[in-house]
Chains A and B, each alone.
Chain A
Amino acid sequence: MNVMTKTALLPWAPEKTGEAPQADAAPAPVARPGLVALLWLPTRLAWRQLRAERARLFSAIAGVMFAAVLVFMQLGFRSALFDSATRLLSNMQAEIFLMNPLTTASFRPEPLPRVRAHQALALPEVAQAVPVYLAQSTWRNPDDGSRRAIQMIGFDVEAGAMHFEGLDAIAPALRRVDAVGFDVRSRPEFGDVARLYAERGPFEVQVGNRMVQMAGVVSIGPSFGADGNLVMNEVNFRRMVRERQASNTDLVAIRLRPGTDIASAQQRLREILPQDVVVLTHAELVAHERMYWETATPIGFIFAFGSVMGLIVGMVIVYQILFSDIANHLREYATLKAIGYSNFYLARVVMAAALILAVIGFLPGAALSTWLYGVVADATFLPLAMTVERATMVFGLIFGMCAAAGLLAMRKLRDASPADMF
């Protein structure tokens, strides 16, 4: 080894001609080359090569950026749809919920005995247990008379166990006969109820086959199962939904006394309640709903598939760039091999180029995606926003994509044959 590296010696020195003692010819334990130099030099070479051809560099950056934006949008939509699917339940503010074990999704609830709410009150740590009624009905648009399915949520509005934004202000009004509160974040197809309410105050609307009074507005937001929401008092709900047994409810919201440990309260509720209800924390209730949308619908698959397509397109672009970089420099690469550069060194150059592209393509991609999230959120009412977790995840995917492209392009290095140089 050191025969080759002692370059200061005259060419006919014994060390060079192989006449040196055998022991000396064995690889001497010279200082190991630093890891920094091992990685830094190929990286610098890769960067100098990328930098030399601006047009190609920019098309590579654009390719990686495109892939990053595509993946960001797909994952963003996916999580926004799941978030919106569970928005109604997320906005219910109670610590523990009782639910029929057969309920798969909140828009299609199985009833549970209302008496479970009273049984739950047996525990000293339970402050309130409020039945929540869920049903779908139709809403006649006060602007143009069209009808559309709407989610109705009935509960004791003054008990304070359940809470939605804006509910406190209209709770007294909801006590009146046939009074309902409209969710102003419902889709616009329900009519511009907020404007009408501001202009006229309470007004009559048709829900199902009944004329009721629009007595105020709350803010919840549409979800998958329901484009809009109506909030009303328990008694009014039973007036409007006739065909139900009064002894059944759909969900029981439980508020605990301040300072109570939720997990132990949940455990005690399980002990005292029969098997026909499940006891869920708020997070578990939301997760249960989300699970339904993830497993029972193709939503999760569709967006995962979209992400993969984006990554494949990005990988092909990066591969093309790296491949043509190698192909155009085949003679130079072969020369480097001829003067003693190993395949492994050149492989590191290609890999470094791939990873440089990953970094400088991801950054503008993430910035563009953040901006697009805002644009799309405004247009679709979907809760879209950039999160650190998602950015980290997408960076990992882009990094892997570029590494895969680099590994594929490396095969071209074999064509750089120094023997064909002469």
Chain B
Amino acid sequence: MDPIHIEGLTFAYGEGELRRPVLRDVSLTVHAGEVVLLTGPSGSGKTTLLTLIGALRGMQDGSCRVLGRELLGASERDRVVLRRSIGFIFQNHNLLGFLTARQNVAMSLEMDLATTESERLDRAGAMLASVGLAGHEDKPPSKLSGGQRQRVAIARALVGGPGLVLADEPTAALDKVSGGEVAHLLRDIAKSRGTPILMVTHDPRILDIADRVITMEDGRIVAGEMAHAGVGGVSPLQATPPKA
């Protein structure tokens, strides 16, 4: 089964007169191991779509299966549990300023109480090394550069071995060089682990990391194109066109 399978998803903010639809009958599938970029003008609904897939928001209508879980009607508790197997990367790093890089990364593992403290710190250290931050483990975020902080955020998203990574403009706050580095790093690690990525971005410089770029406009998916061939025998995806 695909990590993300959406059919007929409709979502609106507000009530009654003020009701403002932001997603209209969206259907989308992301296959295992695929890197999908979601672009489009602001207000096109892509961020809302990302929060719905990330189980950060309650569903209203349609079907959204993420990692095999139907989110329509899912309880808060179910959604909290599902989030633990999704890696989130935000526009801002949102690291806890009072923790070191290693402790920040280990926070992702603390919900799994079966792990021990040393296990968590070891895994966090190894993850930081694989994003190229060996030697920076014990620095607080304030002692790291913007690109380094975003790498810590990537390490935090990936250390738990998530089944899916959701990213919202992870390079927007970075300059061109470090933005490109961060995007490629994220892609490379995800690919090596076979983790699918759904990334909202406006940044044309990083479109080359995508297997597929989907464009949204006015709450609908208007175009889905293959950037290049799918990986690992994954069947080519298609963004299901809006039904009406």
Contact = CB atoms under 8 A, between A and B. Distances in A.
Contacts of A337: 80, 83
Range class of the A interface residue count: 35 or more
B81 A1 contact: yes
A418 B50 CA distance: 12
Contact of B96 (A12, A19, A329): A329
Interface of B is mostly: loop
A48 interface: yes
Nearest to A52: B98
Nearest to A336: B107
A30 B113 CA distance: 11
B114 A33 contact: yes
A17 interface: yes
B133 to A, nearest CB: 19
A3 B114 contact: no
B59 to A, nearest CB: 12
A11 B87 CA distance: 12
B92 A331 contact: yes
B244 interface: no
A7 B111 CA distance: 12
Contact of A421 (B94, B99, B163): B94
Given A4-B81, A17-B3, A11 B98 contact: no
Given A11-B195, A331-B92, A421-B94, A5 B112 contact: yes
Range class of the B interface residue count: 35 or more
A8 B112 CA distance: 12
Given A11-B193, A12-B194, A4 B97 contact: no
Contact of B56 (A4, A9, A418): A418
Contacts of A33: 113-114
Given A5-B112, A11-B32, A18 B80 contact: no
A38 B111 contact: no
A341 B113 CA distance: 12
A422 B83 contact: no
Contacts of A41: 110, 113
Given A11-B32, A331-B94, A340 B81 contact: yes
A419 B56 contact: yes
A238 interface: no
A17 B114 contact: no
A19 B65 CA distance: 12
B113 A37 contact: yes
Contacts of A8: 161
Interface in A318-358: 329, 331-332, 334-342, 345
Contacts of B200: 422
A19 B114 contact: no
Contact of A422 (B47, B99, B156): B47
B98 A16 contact: no
A18 B68 contact: yes
A210 B32 CA distance: 110
Nearest to B90: A421
A335 B98 contact: no
A338 B88 contact: yes
A118 interface: no
Interface in A5-31: 5, 7-12, 16-19, 30-31
Interface in B109-144: 110-114
A419 B57 contact: yes
Given A4-B82, A11-B163, A340-B111, A19 B98 contact: no
Most chain-A Cβ atoms within 10 A of its Cβ — which of B68, B82, B91? B68
Contacts of A341: 80, 111
B1 interface: yes
B33 A11 contact: yes
Interface string A30-58: 11011001100100000011011100000
23 contacts: A5-B114, A7-B160, A10-B194, A11-B162, A11-B194, A12-B3, A17-B32, A17-B163, A34-B113, A329-B96, A331-B92, A334-B94, A338-B88, A339-B107, A340-B80, A419-B51, A419-B56, A419-B57, A421-B56, A421-B90, A421-B94, A422-B50, A422-B200
Interface of A: 1, 3-5, 7-12, 16-19, 30-31, 33-34, 37-38, 41, 48-49, 51-53, 329, 331-332, 334-342, 345, 418-419, 421-422
Interface of B: 1-3, 32-33, 47, 50-51, 54, 56-57, 65, 67-69, 77, 80-88, 90-92, 94-99, 103, 107-108, 110-114, 156-157, 160-164, 168, 193-196, 200
Given A17-B68, A421-B56, 4 more contacts: A17-B1, A17-B2, A340-B80, A422-B47
